[in-house]
Amino acid sequence: MVSKKIEINELPDDVLLYIFRYLTPIDLFNIGTVCRRWYSISQDESLWRSLVLSYGLHQASSNSTSKQRVQTYLNQQIKTQLKSLFPTKFDILKSYTGIPDYQKTFNKFSDQFNFLLAFCDDKHNIIWSQKYDTIKFFDTSISIRWFEIIMPEFLSRVHYLRLF
Which carries the bigger pLDDT value, residue 31 or residue 99? 31
Domains of the chain: which residue ranges?
8-84, 89-163
Residue 61 confidence (pLDDT): 62
Residue 32 confidence (pLDDT): 83
Burial (Cβ within 10 Å: 0-12, 13-18, ≥19) of residue 120:
buried
Name the average pLDDT for the chain. 69
pTM: 0.41
* CA distances from residue 155 to 81, 101, 128, 151, 164 in whole angstroms, order as listed: 20, 29, 10, 8, 19
pLDDT digits (tens, 9 = 90+) for 8-59: 888 899 999 999 888 888 788 888 888 889 888 988 888 887 777 776 666 6
Per-residue pLDDT band at 154 (split at 50, 70, 90)? low
CATH annotation of 8-84:
1.20.1280.50
**Among residues 91, 101, 62, which one has the least CA distance to residue 162?**
91
pLDDT digits (tens, 9 = 90+) for 66-91: 777 777 777 776 666 656 655 555 55
Can you list the positions of beta strands (E) in the chain?
Answer: 89-90, 115-120, 126-132, 136-137, 142-143, 160-163
The listed range with the strongest mean pLDDT (1-10, 71-80, 133-142) is 1-10
